[in-house]
Structure 1
Amino acid sequence: MKKIFLTFFLAITCLSYSQKALKKQIVPTINELKEFIAIPNDALEHSDIMRNIFWLEKQFKERGFNTAQLPTEGEPLFFANLPMKEGLPTLLFYMHFDGQAVDPSKWNQSNPYELVLRDGDTNLDWSTLENGIDNEWRLYGRSASDDKGPIVMFLNAIDVLKAEGKEIPFNIKVILDSEEEKGSKPLPKAVKQYKSLLKSDYLLISDGPIHPSGKPTLAYGCRGITTVTLTTYGPVKPQHSGHFGNYAPNPSFRMASLLSSMKDERGMVLIPGYYDGITLDELTKELLSSVPDDQSAILSRLSIKTAETVGANYQESLQYPSLNVRGINSGWTGSKARTIVPDRTIAEIDIRLVPESDGDRLKELVKKHIKSKGYFIVDKDPTQQERASHDKILKFESRGVTKPFRTDIDSPFSNWLQGVMKNTHGDELVRIRIMGGTVPISPFINELDIPAILVPIVNADNNQHSPNENIKVGMIEYGLKTFYGILTTPMN
């Protein structure tokens, strides 16, 4: 107990001496972020990815890191590490540098890859930073928050450590994903291939936003995902609705009936066995209730009167696998609407996964349910013979599974990181058992057999993936402090 107290006492003392240094580092961090954002990083463009990797190589090497490009079946991964020391634990940092594509016409700036400093709706000249900083100002640009900002904060925290002559009390490795926004498909095989290089004791992920309350946040897991495409069929070609509206079966009504049979009005999945294995004990419910979610604010933000009742509250709802219709397509709409019976209706479904649920099993349960409704299932468009032999036909297509993960909230790694965050920020810590979204890092956890925790360091209203993505200037200091606290606190 004395040893733990001494460790965190030293961490607090260390951080207090560095407050001024960290504040001074905010402007250099912003300037470096401006330089990094200026390199387009569309996950679909190979040349973008390579230019970002060249920039990263330069910046990490200047900080004393060894770097390497790790070839994969897709784009290379970027790897870096400081010289390893015997007998120390190793912490692996995961972030990503690719970004979603941009539509400049939807942004409030001409070039989304040119970082803009803004106070409310007013653009500020960069020289404004020389006269003081307002934490409510925002920096706008693609990947400012997701996920270039955290990378630059990490690098600048290293700068402060080096300027102070401080030693990091453990080994660090860094892996930066180049295809996170595309689902990181090459990652599982790459982690197997580079297992010895990536070997670590713990994994820390810097991605995603802090809790909307603004309090320091840790997330101990994230949901996985798998997707399914369903197609129902009507006439072989679209037909005149006047001639065949009471004769040719309409695939949209069939799809609507089928989808409605999968969930009740409360949002509960009706497919037998879908929630098998999931129980929430009283301690877990207490943890979930401790997250300071404002249910009224969530309803207001979504402009809905009543939430579905899969769980008793927002956090509980995330503990169950979802069944979401993410899009439906059939015929034509709007000004292009036609008076036809459509030939087909397509529904795109995503299933968010929790550790107790297996993605392949849930897809099979969905398929079994569809069969129980009298459908003949195919994996490609039905032949003329199949059409003549079956009344109800459905094409079932599915894609791979990105697995979920969840780390024990009372594990030694969890306790260490909780102590770091509390001592660094001096505020109540929000502990999220599992995030709703998906970060494709399960290959690290499964292959390297190490615990993982997410440390979000950007504002909740950052518009990630959307026009006008941003990061609050105050989060730059928050991120510098967070990384500094982590990198100066011994693990034992």
Structure 2
Amino acid sequence: MKKSLFVILIIVSSVSVFSQKNLNLDELAEKHTLKSMPLLYDLLSIPNDANFPEDIEKNIVWCEKEFQNRQFKTTRIETETVPLLLAERNVKKAKKTVLIYLQIDGQPVDTSKWHQANPYTPALKKPFNDSWEEIDWSNITSYEDDWRVFARSASDAKGPAAMFLAAIDAIDENKINPNFNMKVIMDFEEELGSPRLPKAVMENKELLKSDMLVIFDGPMHITNEPTLVFGARGIATATLTTYGPIVPQHSGHYGNYAPNPALRLAKLLASMKDDNGRVIIPGYYDGIELDETTQELLQAVPDDEEEIKERLQIAGTDNVGTYYQESIQYPSLNIRGMQSGWIDEEARTIVPSWARAELDLRLVLESDPERLISLIEDHIVEQGYYVIDRKPTKEERLKYDKIATFTHEVSYQSFRTDYSSEVGVWLRKALIKAFDKEPIMERMAGGSIPISPFVVTLGIPAVLVPTVNRDNNQHSPNENLRLGNYRLGIKSMISILSEEM
């Protein structure tokens, strides 16, 4: 009896090892692409603007159900607003614990700018005459790689979350048991800057304790080849407001007399950069040194600068760096939006009462964000402005000719991981197994994700595995996910989950 049981165990063990070594990743990814389409549709159909907590709760409940159905234990990590959600699945004799980051919330939507009735009703579309033609979902069984799903968060980042669940289904179906524990942390306020995340990580260090962090987020390299990204810039935001008359005035009566705040704001912003797009505030780029080894890593990324310019439809570029990868190694100072008076069909012949610019600063490890903010504020003062952090009073308006309101918030810092780190070596092996070629290795992404609280507080290395198409319109109307990327994303995740530590 005991001998028979031993033989059975040997056979089962052999089958498990065999199935991992001889897994047809392409067939498995194709099968679970189609099988997971209802799941992707359902997830994208739930409104997920973090400004509406009642909608976020629906997303949390959905994630709890789906992860629990896959033998994950779920825990809500409460914050002052909406919780984070942790899903855990342990294995016997695990060698490591991998923390996996998924983002579930999305940017707000302006339905008037979408080419479909509802951004939360996913639309299946195929290319047609340099545009897109919507087709019925019944066609999904014979989809083509260049067809796309249009919906808010299709790429950023519910698509990757659905890929992960599909990959879990694939390994479970094939009795593939990872030799590591999984902790999946789901963020529902990423698009708000994850303001509650640092405190939550600090207060739950033991619960989140892991050996490494894998982030399934972001677009692949512009070539759409398998990609690993070993860092990302942090982000801070600022709001700058200048003032004119207390209320808008008739431009015939008071033009040439009442100072125009829009002009003053434009000149103030222009004083911060030269014509090549470089910040000319003294000290802004201090501490950034790209040595020969770093330059070699950056230049190994196969960017086609002409193709990038063609996609962006720009004739030239800013010269913060001499090429794309170099440019994103520096902190940025970006005008993300401006407003004053009225434009288009609402334009009026007035001198505006105020002008406002919203700024964002993409941060790198070598730069202290508070120092950069101070440099900007000092520069505004040097341009002759009385700077405050609120609206000016009547007395201040009458006393100071030039007044600016300047407020800021630091969301999170940058992070960067060595290529030779354990997590980097493991992920590289998994992608080579999946695609039979080296992945593109990027030192840092230009965008920002709230990972530094995990890296700093938990003391673990982190690497991004981007899966979505770069031309996905994330943060904009008509966000989309290319179905070929969805399938290859599932393939990548199956390979990662089945790669031994």
- TM more than 0.5: yes
1:45-444 paired onto structure 2 within 5 Å: 45-83=52-90, 85=92, 88-120=95-127, 121-130=132-141, 132-444=142-454
Q: Is the 8 A contact 1:41 1:98 kept in 2?
A: yes
Look up the equivalent residue of 2:392 and give its one-letter code. Answer: P
Q: 2:242 and 2:60 mapped to 1: Cα distance?
A: 44
SS in 2 for 1:185: coil
Letter in 2 for 1:50: E
Q: Which moved more, 1:342-351 or 1:442-451?
A: 342-351
> Does the Cα contact within 8 Å between 1:11 and 1:485 map onto a contact in 2?
no
Matched, 1:32 2:39: yes
Q: Secondary structure at the match of 2:356?
A: strand
CA distance in 1, matches of 2:157, 2:346: 39
Distance change in 2, residues 1:165/1:338 (3 Å): closer
CA gap of 1:345–1:117, structure 2 versus 1, over 3 A, is closer
Query: Comparing 254-263 with 448-457, which one deviates more in the overlay?
Result: 254-263
Q: What residue identity is the alignment partner of 1:267?
A: G
TM-score (norm 1): 0.92
Conserved? CA contact 2:29–2:490, under 8 Å: yes
Residues 470 and 331 of structure 1, relative CA distance in 2, 3 Å threshold: closer
Identical-residue share of aligned pairs (%): 49
- Distance 1:135-1:102 versus aligned 2 partners, 3 A rule: same
CA-to-aligned-CA distance 1:352-373 (integer Å, 9 cap, x gap) = 1111111111000111112222
How far apart in 2 are the matches of 1:410 and 1:326? 36
Cα offset, 1:382, TM superposition? 2.3
Is 1:11–1:488's contact at 8 Å kept on the other side of the alignment? no
Residues in 2 aligned to 1:251 and 1:103: alpha-carbon distance in whole angstroms: 28
8 Å Cα contact 2:90-2:180 kept in structure 1: no
Structure 1: segments with no counterpart, 5+ residues: 1-9
| Structure 2 CA distance for aligned equivalents of residues 463 and 382 of structure 1 | 39
Q: One-letter code of the match for 1:450? A: I
Q: Give 1:26 deviation, angstroms.
A: 1.8
Cα distance in structure 2, aligned partners of 1:315 and 1:454: 16
Residue 293 of structure 1 aligns with an amino acid whose one-letter code is: D
Q: Distance in 1 between matches of 2:45 and 2:34?
A: 17
Gaps of 5+ in 2: 1-16
After superposition, the C-alpha distances for 1:277-330 in whole angstroms (9 at most, x for unaligned) are: 001111211221222222122222333221111101111110111111222222
Residue 168 of structure 1: CA displacement? 0.6
Find the aligned partners of 1:118 and 1:15 in 2 and give their Cα distance: 35
Kindly provide the amino acid, as one letter, of the partner of residue 317 in structure 1. Answer: S
Q: Distance in 2 between matches of 1:129 and 1:363?
A: 49
Amino acid in the other structure paired with 1:36: L
Q: CA deviation at 1:124?
A: 3.7
Equivalent of 1:22 in 3, 19, 29: 29
The worse-fitting range, judged by mean Cα deviation, of 239-248 and 427-436 is 239-248
Question: The residue matched to 1:391 in structure 2 has which SS?
Answer: coil
What whole-Å deviation, never above 9, does each CA across 1:3-39 have from its counterpart, x for those lacking one? xxxxxxx899726445433322221122221222232
Distance 2:18 2:226 in 1: 17
Q: Tell me how large the CA RMSD over aligned residues is.
A: 2.2
Residues 408-435 of structure 1 deviation map (CA, whole Å, 9 limit, x = unaligned): 2222221221222122112342111111
How many correspondences in the alignment?
481
Query: What amino acid sits opposite 1:346 in the alignment?
Result: R
TM-score, length of structure 2 as denominator length: 0.90
Flag the 1:291–1:247 CA change in 2: closer, same or farther, 3 A.
same
Give, in whole Å, the separation in 2 of the partners of 1:285 and 1:268.
20
Which residue identity lines up with residue 304 of structure 1 in the other structure? I
Distance (Å, rounded) in 2 between the aligned partners of 1:339 and 1:111: 36
- SS of the residue corresponding to residue 36 of structure 2 reads helix
The answer to which of 423-432 and 10-19 deviates more is: 10-19
Deviation at 1:119, TM superposition (A): 2.6
Q: Please name the residue that 2:13 is paired with.
A: none
Distance 1:485 1:241, change over 3 A: same
